[in-house]
Amino acid sequence: MPLSDHEQRLLDEIEQALYAEDPKFAASVRSARRRSRTRRSVVLCILGTIVGLGLVLVGLISQIIALSVVGFVLVVGSAGYAVQVIRGRDRSSATPDDASGAAQPRQSPQRQGGLRNRMEDRLRKRFDEN
């Protein structure tokens, strides 16, 4: 049962007060919630892939092409969703939320990840210090 507009506003106000009062606790609760969703999604993707492979095998053995096609679509869909979930997790860990719950702007693509970029940044910092 969805919340009414008034209840949703009250919940948002309580959440904002929590972020303002104790941002460290709010961030830890938020990250724990993300981790459990990610785990659940990955488990569903693995189960979808296994069921899809089973359907493909049963379809091939019984020579029912439609069953094999459905299994193949399930495997591809599960793998695609798993990639999406993993990429989403990487993005959420790369862009931490501020205390108000709004996402901060991401860094430029040049600054995002990569061993080479990090090493170049460290080297620049060393030369800038001297």
Specify the number of domains making up the chain.
Answer: 1
Of 77-81, 93-97, 104-108, give the range with the top mean pLDDT: 77-81
Whether the per-residue pLDDT at 49 is higher than 80: the answer is yes
Mean pLDDT of 19-25: 77
Residue 69 is predicted with a pLDDT of: 95
Establish if 74 belongs to a structural domain: yes
Q: Which domain covers residue 52, as residue numbers?
A: 13-98
**Residues ≥6 apart with Cβ < 8 Å to 49:** 74, 75, 78, 79, 82
Q: How sure is the predictor about 100, in pLDDT bands with cuts at 50, 70 and 90?
A: very low
Alpha-helix residue ranges (DSSP H) falling in the chain:
5-21, 23-62, 65-94, 115-129
Establish if 84 belongs to a structural domain: yes
Establish if 34 belongs to a structural domain: yes
Establish if 108 belongs to a structural domain: no
Establish if 110 belongs to a structural domain: no
Whether the per-residue pLDDT at 48 is higher than 70: the answer is yes
Establish if 68 belongs to a structural domain: yes
Establish if 113 belongs to a structural domain: no
Q: How sure is the predictor about 82, in pLDDT bands with cuts at 50, 70 and 90?
A: confident
Q: Does the model's pTM come out above 0.75?
A: no
Establish if 109 belongs to a structural domain: no
